[in-house]
Structure 1
Amino acid sequence: MKWLGILWLMAFSECLVIIPLMKIKTMRETLREKNLLKHFLEEDTYNTSQNAPDDPKILIQPLRNYLDLSYIGKITIGTPPQEFRVLFDTGSSDFWVPSIYCSSPYCRTRKLFNPRLSVTFQRSGQLCNLNYFSGKIVGFLGYDTVRIGNLVVMAQAFVLSKKQIGTDGAKFDGILGLGYPKLSTLAVTPVFDNMNRQGVISQPVFAFYFRTGKVNGSVVMFDGVDHSYHKGQLKWIPVSHTDYWRMNMNRITMNGLVIGCFHGCQAILDTGSPLLLGPTEHVTAIQKLISATSSGEEYTVPCSSIRRLPNIIFTINGNDFPVPSKAYIWKGPKGICFSNFGGGTESFKLPEKWILGEVFLRVYFSVYDRENRRIGLAPAV
């Protein structure tokens, strides 16, 4: 199972929810399930020995890297606290975890929230159906205390699942959305906005640092920026629309040839997507340029291509952000290499959009500044 961050809107009489689109199992997932890296996946330690931040008030929360496909962090819900592993997702704004009422096989191997054990839990009675491309979550809305490190948010709304379909391969318990409130259709205040409203943070800023090929070392930080995680100065880019974290992109080029975003387009930074996603027609042309061939749901690439292929340059708001071949080609087990491009964003039924997922965000440290409606990017250390 892969969460791709293309958001799919489904309407119901009980609840409206925007959540990440899931993709059918691919060769990459199949390889992961062969216990090729069993010790890597089963080890449940998080390295908390991060460098001291420039500003002591900044919370630096460790994230665990699962095969460069998802970055998972720990939070707690309730009083006394119950711990969960969540995907911090800039591509959505809603928050859900599995509950003790969940009867699905997925929930048998997950941490389950028990509202009976929390003295601060409040049930709303609102039922929700969360539908996405190849799965479904049925649950209800509740409110409770949420803790991320030393940050405490009171009476936070979240969905408690009762039934889950199509989530069996996930390495996280739930998803915590960090998009703008407009992206949420629960008509409740998202976690980050409550942090700001309740005075939990002094400035509405968070940032991500993703490491490549290392279990530990990746982080999400709140209430400021630790500049030791990037090289050079941050390049600040205005947010073009306050729903996704999106920007105006000028073009995508390789060797000076425009290969995507031919007449300008929108680029969305999505920490919930492992890929670079664009319109299928344009992505198919890029696959040919990098000698990728279809292997069912994914494209394989000769591993020798990593040495010979040039950077692909994403020009955003007039700034060039090169992504090297070792980033846009994923070297998997048994010497099999895959393209990290995927299609499907035409399903937005809006002007051309590209999703810059973890492929891009491992190369560039990213800062999300709500107050000034801007995104900061700089090469990651």
Structure 2
Amino acid sequence: MRRLLLVVLLFWTSSALVRVPLRRVRSIRAQLRAHGLLDQFLKHHRPDMFNRRYAQCFPPGTSSLRLGRSSEKIYNFMDAQYYGEISLGTPEQNFSVVFDTGSADLWVPSSYCVSQACASHRHFRAFESTSFHHDGRMFGIHYGSGNLLGIMARDTLKVAGLTALNQEFGESVYEPGATFVMARFDGVLGMGYPALAEILGNPVFDNMMAQNLVDEPVFSFYLSRKTSNGSLEGELLLGGTDEALYNGPINWLPVTAKGYWQIEMDSVAVQGERLFCPRGCQAIVDTGTSLITGPTNDILILQQHIGATPTNTGEFLVDCVRLSSLPHVTFVLGGTEYSLTAEHYVRKEMFGDREMCFSGFQAVNIVSHEGPLWILGDVFLRQVYSVFDRGQDRVGFAPARHRTEQ
């Protein structure tokens, strides 16, 4: 009887962890560069120009049209690389989405969408779902590099083995610009705090917690460094953590502002020398962007220290031959040092038959009440196992165990 009870307990415990496989693909920025379109794209998708061109298409008073809030997003989805599958409706309609801790809305293209971007992506067909609830209110989201306009709705959402009823989401009907034309994903599933949401109602993970779908109010990410050879490319775990994917204890940091997953960073050092935010600064932990970003002045100095030279697209090139001689860049969080080598912070891309190396650091000015914000994107998150705890409002990091890549 004891053995039977133990087996049942182990099965129940393991089933409480829901695993969502993540795929890693070439970013929109890399695709644009490969087609020789990046320079033209950036010229026509500056946030100020986009506002002037499309602001009249959005509901009056759309808060996300503020430039201060949207400036970060021009880099967000242009560099998104990891996405997974969800389904909406009854019977199920499948979509690929970016699981984004830097936003809080769920949206997918509508069957009524009139934009070019929707032609190459899956659409939600409300009239085919028996569990669909019409809302009808309009919403607008401005991402800087891609805007969208849509209507709100509610339906059954399935993520791996979890079913959330009456989930609020957006049906996108208008996606101007070229950003989402190039995207490999259909939509976005935001995992930030409700304060970030443009769509009224509970964000997805809040809805899961309210319906007691997860054993713990925790989700965690494992992001692989590789995309081939059959290895695990990435994984989102809902309801807890997987000790097989990380080493050592988890280093916990309290959330300092409940919007983004925002934490305090002690400092940033280059080759052991503390150069940036020596008295501490704020950072966002963002799975929706591949880069590490910081204030312009700091990032320009950092590019100089790693020998990166600017391009006409605002990116910085590094000599691929010199990678082994480049300095370590160390982020100190909660007293723990996370050192990145050039192999970690340099992005390698093939341009024809030539390999090019780009700095994984980008200048983005985001102003908050606590001062300028840094963004710890996938360049950082690939080196750690990241845990997001809504129950205790904290973020945890532990060294990732890339066992299949050794």
- TM over 0.5, yes or no? yes
Query: Is this contact kept in 2: 1:239–1:247, CA < 8 A?
Result: yes
The answer for the alignment partner of 2:286 in structure 1 is 270
Q: For 1:246 and 1:347, how far apart are their aligned partners in 2? A: 13
Q: Tell me whether 1:226 sits opposite 2:242 in the alignment.
A: yes
Q: 2:344 aligns with which of 327, 332, 338?
A: 327
SS, match of residue 332 in structure 1: strand
The answer for the alignment partner of 2:334 in structure 1 is 317
The answer for the alignment partner of 1:371 in structure 2 is 391
Q: For 1:140 and 1:338, how far apart are their aligned partners in 2? A: 39
Moved more, 136-145 or 318-327: 318-327
Query: When the two structures are superposed, what TM-score results if normalisation uses the length of structure 2?
Result: 0.78
Residue type at the aligned position of 2:383: V
Q: For 1:280 and 1:299, how far apart are their aligned partners in 2? A: 13
The answer for the alignment partner of 2:374 in structure 1 is 354
Q: Tell me whether 1:124 sits opposite 2:135 in the alignment.
A: yes
SS, match of residue 87 in structure 1: strand
The answer for the alignment partner of 1:17 in structure 2 is none
Q: 1:176 aligns with which of 186, 189, 196?
A: 189
Q: 2:224 aligns with which of 192, 199, 211?
A: 211
The answer for the alignment partner of 1:251 in structure 2 is 267
SS, match of residue 326 in structure 1: helix
Query: Is this contact kept in 2: 1:261–1:352, CA < 8 A?
Result: no
Moved more, 343-352 or 140-149: 343-352
Query: Is this contact kept in 2: 1:104–1:164, CA < 8 A?
Result: yes
Q: For 2:91 and 2:398, how far apart are their aligned partners in 1? A: 39
The answer for the alignment partner of 2:64 in structure 1 is none
Query: Is this contact kept in 1: 2:139–2:198, CA < 8 A?
Result: no
Query: Is this contact kept in 2: 1:365–1:378, CA < 8 A?
Result: yes
Q: For 2:176 and 2:235, how far apart are their aligned partners in 1? A: 30
SS, match of residue 375 in structure 1: strand
What is the CA distance between 1:350 and its match in structure 2? Answer: 5.5
Corresponding residue pairs, total: 330
Runs of 4+ aligned structure 1 residues displaced above 4 Å come to 347-350
The answer for the alignment partner of 2:70 in structure 1 is none
Q: For 1:73 and 1:305, how far apart are their aligned partners in 2? A: 35
Query: Is this contact kept in 2: 1:247–1:317, CA < 8 A?
Result: no
Q: For 2:123 and 2:93, how far apart are their aligned partners in 1? A: 9
| Structure with greater strand share of residues | 1
SS, match of residue 182 in structure 1: helix
The answer for the alignment partner of 1:307 in structure 2 is 324
Q: 1:282-315: CA deviations, max 9, x gaps?
A: 1011111111111122111001232111321101
Query: Is this contact kept in 2: 1:90–1:245, CA < 8 A?
Result: yes
Q: Name which one, 1 or 2, has greater alpha-carbon Rg.
A: 2
Q: For 1:130 and 1:246, how far apart are their aligned partners in 2? A: 21
What is the CA distance between 1:323 and its match in structure 2? Answer: 1.6
Q: 1:58 aligns with which of 10, 17, 33?
A: 17
Moved more, 65-74 or 80-89: 65-74
Q: For 1:260 and 1:138, how far apart are their aligned partners in 2? A: 39
The answer for the alignment partner of 1:345 in structure 2 is 365
Q: For 1:268 and 1:53, how far apart are their aligned partners in 2? A: 34
Residue type at the aligned position of 2:395: I
The answer for the alignment partner of 2:100 in structure 1 is 89
Q: For 2:323 and 2:26, how far apart are their aligned partners in 1? A: 18
Query: Is this contact kept in 1: 2:349–2:357, CA < 8 A?
Result: yes
Q: 1:105-162: CA deviations, max 9, x gaps?
A: 1111101000000011111110112222132111100000000011000000111011
Query: Is this contact kept in 2: 1:130–1:138, CA < 8 A?
Result: yes
Q: For 1:326 and 1:98, how far apart are their aligned partners in 2? A: 37
What is the CA distance between 1:348 and its match in structure 2? Answer: 5.1
Q: For 2:127 and 2:185, how far apart are their aligned partners in 1? A: 23
SS, match of residue 288 in structure 1: helix
Quickly say closer, same or farther: Cα 1:53–1:250, change in 2 above 3 A.
Answer: farther
Query: When the two structures are superposed, what TM-score results if normalisation uses the length of structure 1?
Result: 0.83
Q: 1:3-32: CA deviations, max 9, x gaps?
A: xxxxxxxxxxxxxxxxxxxxxxxxxxxxxx
Q: 1:186-239: CA deviations, max 9, x gaps?
A: 331100000000111121110000001224511000011111001112111111
**What pairs up with 1:146-157 in 2 under 5 angstroms?**
146-157=157-168
Q: 1:64-93: CA deviations, max 9, x gaps?
A: 011375101000000000000000000111
SS, match of residue 182 in structure 2: coil
What is the CA distance between 1:280 and its match in structure 2? Answer: 0.9
| Structure with greater helix share of residues | 2
Q: For 1:326 and 1:367, how far apart are their aligned partners in 2? A: 24
Q: For 2:396 and 2:142, how far apart are their aligned partners in 1? A: 32
Q: For 1:324 and 1:271, how far apart are their aligned partners in 2? A: 20
Q: Which runs of 5+ in 1 are unaligned?
A: 1-51
Q: Which runs of 5+ in 2 are unaligned?
A: 1-10, 28-79, 402-406
SS, match of residue 75 in structure 1: strand
